[in-house]
Amino acid sequence: MLLVAFAVAPLLAGTAFGQDAAPEPGPVDEYLELVEASGGAELAPAFDFFTVSMLWTVIAAAMVFIMHLGFATLEAGLTQSKNTVNILFKNVWIISIGLLTYALLGFNTHYPVDSWQIPGWLGINGPIGDLGGGENDTWAYGGLSLAMTAYGDFIFQAMFAATAATIVSGAVAERVKIGSFMIYSTILVAFGYTIAGSWHWGGGWLSQLGGGEAGFYDFAGSTVVHGFGGAAALACVLILGPRKGKYTKDGIKPILGHSMPLAAVGVFLLFFGWFGFNGGSVLSANPGPLGLVFTTTALAAAAGGIASIFISMIVLKKPDLSMALNGLLAGLVSITAGADSVTPMESVIMGAVGGVIVVFSILFFDKIKIDDPVGAISVHGVCGIWGTLAVAFFGGASFMSQLIGVVAVYAFAFIFSFAVFFVIKLVMGVRVSEEEEAEGLDVAEHGAPAYNLN
């Protein structure tokens, strides 16, 4: 009955609420104007869905933003207290320069649309300009597959952009020159990440594999964000060399992190932000995929944590906290490529395998004397490969396309990063002096220690 009432009501509304006279101006009129402004009658039925989708986009952007605090505290916690100011400074730099360069050229390079210079491969373009008004603010901008305004699209992607450079920050910690890192990270985030990203998310050649039928699939960026960062980090670490005193004649001398609470804060914040990272990658508030993505993301992280805990108990003979924390992150990276296309139990397997891989990978890199203070290459690089390939095993993607995508992005990231960092090394050096390394970068480079107990 109510349904009838409701159906009739608006019609009657004309009559019942006095539409003999023109309607009083009120909230509904304001609303209808808004709907009409938002693409006109054509788009009206979808206006509210669009509104909630756009809201989710900006909230997800804020959640991805807080991942940068997660990276900052995780990296700081896992390194020595004498290099803490340096790490925090690098993270302030990266989020700031990442957002700015993404506005200046990154967004239009990442998504060249019709302005490729080399179609499918390269489209370096200019600033965003004014993205508001007209279709940019409406449902017409991206339809259901990108249910956000152009500004929503920009800010969500901008928050992603800085992530790749942040991953490198952890791997080069405790010995990189701050000026050199500032230049390197700017080039990486402005050009490296955006070019590689355009191959996949920008509609470039990776998305067109198999005539588009068997395109490379990387839902939220196991490869194009995390793998990219991990491979870029590896190149830098090879050029930089290990920290003094880490690998001695008498074997590996662990350099312990200075604050496990900071590290734990970092991992929990990253886990929290990952709900925005993966969840926001649904690109709308579509309830079906949204619920699935939150569930697979959480379960993969949990499985990664549990797996790392048990493996560390077996291999290291103790329940190791830093392995447990890396296990959570390993699970998260492992599900990022396929969060929308696997079942909960598959996500548990994907995360658990990631949690096993990360422990052995960290031990392996240490064995071959590649010194990565926070395990970034293992967490983001190695688990990124697993996560991306796993979409072929579980999520129905083409294995060949996944493999091509991994090889292409990792190779590009490694070579781009190596070339840029090597040139910077030739021009101005990339590593602080032995005295500065011993003193710590905080005082040597920034003139102030992180802690002053009194």
Restricted to residues 169-188, the positions that interact with a copy of itself (CB under 8 A) are: 178-179, 182
- Local structure of residue 268 (DSSP, 8 states): H
Q: How far is the CB of 243 from a copy of itself (least distance, A)?
A: 13
Residue 132 binds a copy of itself (CB under 8 A): yes
Residue 21 binds a copy of itself (CB under 8 A): no
Nearer to a copy of itself, 313 or 419 (CB): 313
Q: How far is the CB of 6 from a copy of itself (least distance, A)?
A: 5
Nearer to a copy of itself, 104 or 404 (CB): 104
Residue 432 binds a copy of itself (CB under 8 A): no
Residue 314 binds a copy of itself (CB under 8 A): no
Residue 428 binds a copy of itself (CB under 8 A): no
Report how far residue 314's alpha carbon sits from residue 396's, in angstroms, rounded to the nearest whole number: 34
Nearer to a copy of itself, 206 or 282 (CB): 282
Residue 251 binds a copy of itself (CB under 8 A): no
Type of residue numbered 85: V
Residue 429 binds a copy of itself (CB under 8 A): no
Q: Concatenate the DSSP letters of all residues of 140-197 into one string.
A: GGTGGGG-S-HHHHHHHHHHHHHHHHHHHHHHTTTTB-HHHHHHHHHHIIIIIHHHHH
CB 74 within 8 A of CB 267: yes
Structure tokens at 266: 């970092």
| Binders in 29-88 for a copy of itself, by CB under 8 A | 29-36, 38, 40-59, 61-63, 65-66, 68-69, 72-73, 76, 80-82, 84-85, 88
Q: Say how many CA atoms lie within 13 Å of 290 toward its Cβ.
A: 12
Nearer to a copy of itself, 186 or 223 (CB): 186
Segment lying near a copy of itself (by CB under 8 A), choices 2-10, 118-126, 222-230, 399-407: 2-10
Q: How far is the CB of 175 from a copy of itself (least distance, A)?
A: 15
Residue 319 binds a copy of itself (CB under 8 A): yes
Nearer to a copy of itself, 11 or 314 (CB): 11
CB 189 within 8 A of CB 197: no
3 state SS for 366-400: HHCCCCCCCCHHHHHHHHHHHHHHHHHHHCCCCHH
Q: Which residues of 361-380 are buried (b: 16+ CB within 10 A; e: fewer)?
A: bbeebbeeebbbbbbbbbbb
Residue 362 binds a copy of itself (CB under 8 A): no
Q: CB under 8 Å to 363, separation ≥6 — which residues?
A: 315
Q: Provide the mask over 265-304, with x wherever binding to a copy of itself is found by CB under 8 A and - wherever it is not.
A: x-xxx-xx--xx--x-----xxxx-xxx-xx--xx-xxx-
Structure tokens at 189: 């985030």
